[in-house]
Amino acid sequence: MDNENKEMTYLESVHRDGRIWGFTILALLFLFPVMLMIIFSAVPKWDAMLKGMIAVVPMYWAVGIIEVFTYVPMLGSGGSYLSFVTGNISNLKLPCALDAMERANVKANSEDGEIISTIAIAVSSIVTTVIIILGVILIIPLTPILDSPILKPAFDQILPALFGGLAVVFVSKNLKLAIAPMILMILLFIFVPALNAGTVGIMVPVGAVFTLIVARIMYKKGML
């Protein structure tokens, strides 16, 4: 079997398994509230639930669609399926995959990039699960340490430090292209008080789409 056929066979298996696990997780997510209703004989007020969903769900639909077009080119097929199933894409899976591919000097749309990205995200998922298990076990004895006011400033800077390290690498590759999205994000977080650390997952796709539009304009004008 030649390399092209091997790659197609691999991608076919990735899409098959990815769909199976994706629909399985979707079914489990819907099954949880159904089981709660059955166990506790509690039925929500459907009119109130519908009003809440109308206000919230469209935003998540939009973000979900944007994330597919944003993350798949960066993570590859296997990494994307695995990331969407395990979650924590913007603050864990994406940095791990990008750093792994950067160190291996491969692109996400290549066969090597597909494999490297998937392995990095799988390892990240395993490590995250192990840490969560240890956290559940050790949460009580570690609570006084974690709540220490001395350590609070360090914990507050974990996410900025993570993305700051990645930014140095990727911004330095194309500073002209990076200026516009950085200015946009700075202005949004300054003048829109509702935006905070909890909106990072939403703002990453927004920034990516904005960057694509700016890149297209700059390319057409011969600036890239």
* pLDDT tens, per residue, the chain with 224 residues: 555 555 567 778 888 888 998 899 889 988 988 998 899 888 888 888 888 777 777 667 777 777 788 788 888 888 889 888 888 887 788 888 988 998 888 887 788 888 899 999 999 999 988 988 988 888 888 888 877 888 888 877 877 777 777 777 677 777 888 888 888 888 887 887 777 666 666 677 777 788 888 888 888 888 77
Longest pairwise C-alpha distance within the chain:
64
- The token duo for 2 is 């030649």
- Distance from CA of residue 81 to its chain's centroid? 11
What DSSP designation does 175 have?
Answer: H
Instruction: Compute CA distances 148 → 71, 142, 143, whole Å.
Output: 36, 10, 8
Q: Residues 88, 121: contact at Cβ < 8 Å? A: no
Supply the pLDDT for residue 77. Answer: 87
Supply the pLDDT for residue 126. Answer: 92
Supply the pLDDT for residue 24. Answer: 92
| The model scores a pTM over 0.85 | no
CA distance 201 to 205: 7
Q: Residues 211, 224: contact at Cβ < 8 Å? A: no
Supply the pLDDT for residue 7. Answer: 57
Supply the pLDDT for residue 8. Answer: 64
Supply the pLDDT for residue 123. Answer: 93
Supply the pLDDT for residue 174. Answer: 77
Supply the pLDDT for residue 31. Answer: 92
Q: Vertex 80, ends 119 and 205: CA angle to 5°? A: 130
Supply the pLDDT for residue 178. Answer: 84
